[in-house]
Chain A
Amino acid sequence: MEQVGAAALPVMVGVILLFGFVKGVEVLDVFLTGAREGLETSLRLLPTLIGLIVAVTMVRASGLLDLLAGLLAPLAQGMGVDPELLPLALLRPISGSGASAYTLTLLQKFGPDSPAGKIASVLSSSTETTFYAVAVYFGSCGYKRLGHTLPAALLGDAAALVFSVLSVKLLG
């Protein structure tokens, strides 16, 4: 399994290059044209990233998530969910690296093969960093109105929490 995953990137790049070469594309010249566009896109993203990451880092440092998790704890216990999973569920949509670090502490505390450790593993790997994706994708092309993007995306995140708990409880 590890090998299959590790092969994905080299194989994808290899196929793209080989196909291009066979079709007579001047691969390096074309690569450089594309890469130059990347420079522009990345620079345009920098202000968005600074704004987003400053806000997320502040939320994490202020203890706001712990406060929210504390408020929601009775609800979680009622559903049979370990309250220590709540900060992970709240952190996952806003910070990928923060969620990873928190998952690691949960795995160390409960053990990776315990129910709580498994739920944390499943929850972390079944969702993406929602706010990051929304800010970066819309920020890169300058849209301010997002329509129904966030409600739909956050419903997906909520479903991930419910299903990570259910699937681990049912399948072990």
Chain B
Amino acid sequence: MLNSIWFGMIVLSVVCALCNGRLGDLSAALMDGAQTAVELSLFLLGSMCAWLGFLKIAEESGLSLLIARALAPVIGRLFPEYRDDQEIQGKISLNLSANLLGLGNAATPLGLAAMKSMAQRNPTDRPTKGMILFVVMNTASLQLIPLNMAAMRASCGSAVPFSILPQVWITSAASLAVCMTACKLLERRSLWNR
């Protein structure tokens, strides 16, 4: 599926740029994009190494297990395939906690570690239901306090930068509920599992 989306994005961009005479911008964008990706991965490299280091400490000390046990009623219900796997439950719990706290830099490395462990226990070449739900949850926003947005609003002269909190909570919760419900409903249909 990613193949056709990637193809579509690039071909449509070229056609669109041809029509409105933005070909110069497009060539610049191609090179800029590649460069940005390298810069971003250097940035990611730092937070990835740091957080996988902290994760290892949390796992060795048993902290990750403690958090997993505390969240087990929720995690076990959402990810029944991994009900008996405390290592995976621990990684999922840490990723979700980091997301709730708004620590995006920590959430991605922890989430990738969880994906790696789930992939190691998966003999097929298709992602498991649990992996799909986990990724879908990570495409929704779980962040409780949107600090960056509040800072941006304050810098634009907002009198009450945090006044959007209730709306953000309602919207995030509704969006999360919709994508998780969709995920649980669609996983029953074989259409998507081809």
Contacts and interface: CB of A to CB of B under 8 A. Distances in A.
Partners in one complex: yes
A148 B175 contact: no
Interface stretch (B53-61, B72-80, B81-89): B53-61
B146 A125 contact: yes
Interface residues of A, number: 102
Nearest to A142: B119
Interface in B29-70: 29-30, 32-34, 36-38, 40-41, 44-45, 48-58, 60-63
B160 A113 contact: yes
A153 B9 contact: no
Nearest to A165: B171
B162 to A, nearest CB: 6
Interface string B148-189: 111011001111111110111011101111111011001101
A16 B32 CA distance: 38
Given A37-B52, A62-B14, A8 B135 contact: no
Contacts of A117: 153, 156, 158
22 contacts: A17-B54, A20-B58, A23-B60, A31-B57, A34-B49, A34-B55, A38-B53, A54-B29, A57-B36, A58-B33, A64-B12, A130-B139, A131-B5, A134-B135, A137-B111, A146-B2, A147-B186, A156-B175, A156-B178, A159-B174, A160-B172, A160-B174
